[in-house]
Amino acid sequence: MSADVRVCFVGDSFVAGVGDPLLLGWAGRLGQRAVDDGVALTAYNLGVRRQTSADVLNRFASECEQRLLPGTDARVVVSFGVNDTTYENGGPRVDPEGSAANLTELLGQAAERGWQVLMVAPPPISEAEQNARTAELDERFAEICAAAAVPYVQVHQALLGSAVWMREVREGDGAHPGAAGYEVLAALVLPRWQEWLSR
């Protein structure tokens, strides 16, 4: 394994770990586990609240290029979608076709630069109707990643069934869990994360 593994975690407030009093979120917990496993990891958290797939795409390449320098083991973990399915002004902030196109373009930009990508599905919140829209987007994202040979971690349904995640989301701001919820999400991603890092 390379002595200089760099991973940019790019996405929304869930990537940033909003709601976690430990300020780790799921990304920080995965990073900690990699270091414990002996990976010489430099992790960059590039999560931004309220950002959609379009917002992430607009900044993705320029922000990652500053961190994923030539000669390093350069990788990107991506997660977004909940803000796309949020209704504003009578419709979703980004329609499903737009979300799919944004992901396809992002994966293409990463491939052009030789960056390995791992994608994590958008999680559920406390609103059932929005969760139904997000679940449909989750399936579409899974198909796009499969076509691009990018590993995709489908966590949405598992988190819907997690008493810890859903309780903390309801007790919080209606969208973000606390530390225990992020522990659950990190545990779901961990096997694929470890497999991906070992490539």
Burial class (CB in 10 A: 0-12, 13-18, 19+), 179: middle
- What's the rounded Cα separation, in Å, for the pair 132 and 130? 5
Residue range 57-116, pLDDT digits in tens? 999 999 999 999 999 999 999 999 999 999 999 999 999 999 999 999 999 999 999 999
Q: Which fold would CATH assign to domain 5-197? A: Rossmann fold (3.40.50)
Question: pTM value?
Answer: 0.97
- What's the rounded Cα separation, in Å, for the pair 60 and 58? 6
